Structure 1
Amino acid sequence: MNEALITRLGALDLSLQDNKVNTNDRVLALISACITEGVDQGPSIVEVLARLGFDRRHVGLTLNKGIQQVPVWPNWGRRDDGRYYVPDPT
C-alpha cells in the first residue's frame, strides 16, 4: 500500500473532521479521492479506508450504494471490468 497516499488521504480526513463533516460524508469524499488517486477497485478502496480507521462494512455498503449509471457528484460509476470512476468536475 502506498504510504504517501495514506498520508494524503489521512490529511484530507483530518481536514474534513476539523470542518465537522459527518462520517458518511467523509466516507463519500474519501472514496472519491481514492478513485481519483487511481485506487479504483472495490477491495482496495475498502482496504485504504479501513487503514484510516473506517469500518469495512460501512465503506463497502457506501461504495455499492453510490454507483450510478451516469454519476453525479458525490457518486461514482463502475465499468464493466469492475473499476470505479468519478464524474468529471463541472
Structure 2
Amino acid sequence: MKMLRATLLMIGLLLCSQGFATTDQQNKMTTCNADATAKGLKGDERKLFMSNCLKAAPPATEAVPALTPQQEKMKTCNADATTKDLKGDERKAFMSDCLKKK
C-alpha cells in the first residue's frame, strides 16, 4: 500500500511540474517588480510604475502582427481626421465617408 502511494505521489509530481513553467507575463511581472524595488518606489508611485511597466510594449525580439487592410484604412482615415482637426459630428461624417471609400 505504501509503494502504491509513493508511486502515485511521484506520478502526480511529474504531471504537476509542467504547470510551474513561467509565462511571458510572469517574467515581465518579475522584471518590473525588480525594477521598482531597485528604484525604491513605494505606495502610489510603485503602483503607477508597475502599471506602466506591465502595459509597456513587448521586447523587440517578439514579432509585431501586421495590420489588416481594414485596420490600415482606419489608421489612415483617423490620421487624416486628426490632421484636419475634425471634432464631433464632422469627424464622424468624415470617418464614415473615408472608410467607405475603396
TM-score normalised by L of structure 2: 0.28
Of Structure 1 and Structure 2, which has the larger fraction of its residues in helix?
Answer: 2
Higher relative contact order by CA 8 Å / sep ≥ 6: 1 or 2?
Answer: 1
Which of 1 and 2 has greater Rg?
Answer: 2
- Whose strand fraction is larger, Structure 1's or Structure 2's? 1
